[in-house]
Chains A and B, each alone.
Chain A
Amino acid sequence: MEKGIFTKNIKQEQIDAFKRNKRALTSAYIFLFLFIISLFSELIANDKPLLLKYQNDLYFPIFSDYTDKDFGGDFPTPADYKDPYIIKQIEQSGWMLMPIIPFSFNTVDYNLNVPTPSAPSQEHWLGTDDEGRDIVARIFYGFRLSIIFSFLLTVISSIIGIITGAIQGYFGGKTDLIFQRFMEIWETLPQLFIIIIIASIFTPGFWSLLIILIAFSWLNLTGMVRAEFLRTRNMEYVKAAKSMGAGNIRIMFKHILPNAVITTITFVPFLLAEGITALTALDFLGLGLPAEYPSLGDLVRQGKDNLQAPWIGISIFIVLSTLLSLLIFIGEGIRDAFDTRRNN
């Protein structure tokens, strides 16, 4: 309803306070840098060439699909740019430019002449996993998937949490009472078992897993928003708006929500970190995303299963701990910047 409800409520002094916190600011830059890089994973780690020239024509295999036939092969199947025959065909009458890492997250390297998981080498910087897939490529894609998943989870569950909290806090009384009891029952449901049951009935995909996790994570913010609404609804400026004839929706959105939003913003980085942990844990247990997704949790499981190949475990440990630390540092920075008691 209100345009820019988030940006408008962040004052310059809070941005300045955040900037003064060097650790948080550096973390924010590093995080943004890594995330933006990971958005271009397809251009960095892919088994298709970025650009190729074949018989005087330019091809962009990343953006459109070509078949073997296009490059003098026999079958109308999608071109396999790792196939020595195709490579030979192309190089005879043109050239091709491969990405820095010539493997996608699901490319199995059949040219390996060592048993999988293979140790770091020139070709595979961090080695391969036990199916012969490049770990760097899997980390790039997994990193991006984790953040996007967790971001969606945070945004959607925050919206639900704010709305439910707002309704409870604003109307109070019986509405609040019934909602609170419902939440208490909901909270006690064993989340993990429900996911196990659901996963045993059908394989969860990206969206279905997101919905299941949202179903439990919206509770995070509800209590806080509710408290904020309970506190603010008796403020004199709310009474003033009411006596002027403002409706419930107007009061909730214009007068109370902006005050509640600040407390919410403070929690967002922590919720993000929580979401990443949750997804990783589920993938580790094999209850999360199916095998065709690149996931950090899957790498953790491989690291555990292949202790003789420590490069898997060590790489994923460093990736996860860096990612979570960055988010926590950013979260601390935001929390301190919005803490009015600390600033005064």
Chain B
Amino acid sequence: MSILEVKHLSINFRKKNGDIFPAVKDISFNLEQGEILGIVGESGSGKSVTALSVLGLLPYPKAFHGPNSIIEYQGKNLLTASDAELREIRGGKIGFIFQEPMSSLNPLHRIGKQIAETIVIHQHLSLKEANRKALKLLIKVGIKNAKERMKAFPHELSGGQRQRVMIAMAIANRPDILIADEPTTALDVTIQKQIIDLLIKLQKQLNMSIIFISHDLQVIRKIADRVCVMKDGKIVEQNRVSEIFEHPQESYTKTLISSHNILNKLNKESDKNILKINNLNVWFPLKKNFWGKCLEYIKAVNGISINLSKGQTLGIVGESGSGKSTLGQSIVGLNKYSGDIFINNQNIKEITSQERASVQIVFQDPYNALNPRMNIEEIVREGLDIHHKELTKEQKYRLVTEVMQEVGLKESDLKKYPHEFSGGQRQRIAIARALILKPQLLILDEPTSALDVTIQAQVLKLLQKIQNERHLTYIFISHDMNAIKAMSDKIAVMKDGKIIELGSRDEIFNHPQQEYTQKLIAAAV
């Protein structure tokens, strides 16, 4: 029996200049009782807007629906329901979990109070009783020391715990439907798995229906019964999970699925050593006494030694806070460290900044990594401006256009500004900026984490191509086991500032020694 039916839903937005932007174009799907429906698609495909429209949470009247649009819940069209009716349904009959739990929780209220509040509003219970229910819910979603945690503020909880609190709030009133909009995207892989397991468990216990929205096919595959694949505001394919993954019909679905299989061929190990790190420590002071002497440290990188031979890719994997980004940034000299780092057998503390330019870095977030007030030519050219002042304007321009071609961008893009580009294109610009100084070692700090899967695959392929052409050495930092697997010859697993396991790709994936590594691999596949 269908519990929610969406028929011919279209959503349009009025832009400031009067144009109309269609975000969702005539989609229809239904949600069965007790089923988990996955909606998968890239950013901008309209999946979140669809979910928000079910609860009437779009910015009306800037947003408006097409004339035939119907969202039917228990025989009632939610699109024409009154505000009072919608309020009753929101948080009552239909619960909602957002991607970023920190911004969805009120930072000034204790979490117990926030959960109790929704119970009081919808079930008209006394505060005391609501509090007792809130405690039960916290236990149910697996918060340890739930009684003490009732008094905690959101910032005192970890990302995973916050998401559990959000889930507790969403299920507080025993909803029929739970809409989860990318609930695991901001979390580490092992935590992701816990949250997904929790959602599946709760779905069985409460016999809810869940609409699970994600851009991550792996997650959808694990949780959903049925999948809708969305692209450009349309549902291109919907079917049972097994069907979608084993017999995808549409070419778009096929690209999505194949994006996960872009294994690089292994690079040969050469005898020439490019990077040697001896006992590297990066400690950040946490607590100082009155005289400025440090009493406590965060040991972000704690005694790490690495040898990397030329032309290979070292993958560094670990969860957030494991120190993998700090390690990468130390190699390019962004952090103070103790220990020794040698590039081509020269200590980087003793070489000139020009020699140092043989190590370059590409950052995670393509939105932050490009200065919004410089055009692409200035951004890419900057390395030349710093290190090759002797070149003429024309020579610099030629080098810039060459490297732009190499990363697959046009010369006509040079005069544009970063905000005119998509995430994938920006990452290409960041790569071009790093390549212009002809580095030997490129540090890739989560270069694909902020991108959609198909774009991720394109960027990874580009990186593989560049490596082959230029014989570059990579340090590929990521929390994504699939990306690590696709790129790396050797893999280092980091936890709490230490490398706990180091081995070749086959060793790590086929015979992981450490329990933590096994957990990471299990969570990813």
User: Which residues of A approach B to under 8 Å, CB–CB?
Assistant: 8-9, 235-237, 239-247, 250, 254-255, 258-259, 343
Contacts and interface: CB of A to CB of B under 8 A. Distances in A.
Nearest to B359: A243
Which has the most chain A C-beta neighbours within 10 Å: B333, B371, B430?
A: B371
A237 B370 contact: yes
Contacts of B16: 343
B334 interface: yes
22 contacts: A235-B368, A236-B369, A237-B371, A239-B329, A239-B361, A240-B369, A240-B430, A240-B433, A243-B332, A243-B333, A243-B361, A244-B382, A244-B386, A244-B433, A245-B356, A245-B357, A245-B383, A245-B386, A245-B387, A254-B374, A259-B372, A259-B373
Interface of A is mostly: helix
B364 interface: yes
Given A237-B368, A245-B356, 15 more contacts: A8-B373, A236-B369, A237-B370, A239-B334, A240-B433, A241-B371, A243-B329, A243-B334, A243-B360, A243-B361, A244-B383, A245-B386, A247-B386, A250-B386, A254-B371
A78 to B, nearest CB: 55
A9 B383 CA distance: 22
B353 interface: yes
A343 B419 CA distance: 15
A239 to B, nearest CB: 6
B437 interface: yes
A333 B383 CA distance: 38
Contacts of A244: 357, 360, 382-383, 386, 433, 437
A191 to B, nearest CB: 35
B365 interface: yes
A241 B433 CA distance: 10
A237 B386 contact: no
A289 B332 CA distance: 57
Nearest to B383: A244
Contact of B363 (A9, A240, A246): A240
A236 B357 CA distance: 17
Contacts of A258: 371, 373-374
A266 to B, nearest CB: 16
Interface of B: 16, 329, 332-334, 353-354, 356-357, 360-361, 363-365, 368-374, 382-383, 386-387, 430, 433, 437
Contacts of A241: 371, 382
Contacts of A255: 371, 374
A240 B360 CA distance: 9
Contacts of B361: 239-240, 243
Contacts of B333: 242-243
B106 to A, nearest CB: 21
A250 B353 CA distance: 15
Contacts of B332: 243
Contacts of A242: 333-334
Contacts of A9: 373
Given A9-B373, A244-B357, A244-B437, A236 B363 contact: yes
Nearest to B433: A240
Contacts, number: 59
A337 B361 CA distance: 36
Nearest to B353: A245
Contacts of B364: 236
A239 B363 contact: yes
Contacts of A247: 386
Contact of B382 (A239, A246, A259, A343): A246
Contacts of B383: 244-245
Nearest to A257: B373
List 6 A-B pairs, minimum CB-CB distance, nearest first. Answer: A243-B332, A245-B353, A236-B369, A236-B368, A258-B373, A236-B363
A259 B437 CA distance: 26
B351 to A, nearest CB: 11
Nearest to A232: B371
Nearest to B333: A243
Nearest to A174: B292
A179 B109 CA distance: 36
Contact of B365 (A236, A245, A259): A236
A326 B303 CA distance: 64
B384 to A, nearest CB: 10
Residue among A239, A241, A245, A250 having the largest count of chain B Cβ atoms under 10 Å: A245
A241 B361 CA distance: 10
Contacts of A243: 329, 332-334, 360-361
Contacts of A239: 329, 334, 361, 363
A241 B329 CA distance: 12
B139 to A, nearest CB: 39
A235 B374 CA distance: 14
A242 B329 CA distance: 10
A258 B360 CA distance: 25
Given A244-B382, A246-B382, A237 B356 contact: no
Nearest to B328: A243
Contacts of B356: 245
A255 to B, nearest CB: 5
Contacts of A8: 373
Nearest to B387: A245
A260 B357 CA distance: 28
Contacts of B433: 240, 244
B489 to A, nearest CB: 24
Nearest to B371: A237
Contacts of B360: 243-244
Contacts of A343: 16
A210 B317 CA distance: 60
Nearest to B361: A243
Contacts of B373: 8-9, 258-259
A250 B383 CA distance: 12
A9 B375 CA distance: 11
Nearest to B352: A245
A258 B364 CA distance: 23
A247 B389 CA distance: 14
A247 B333 CA distance: 13
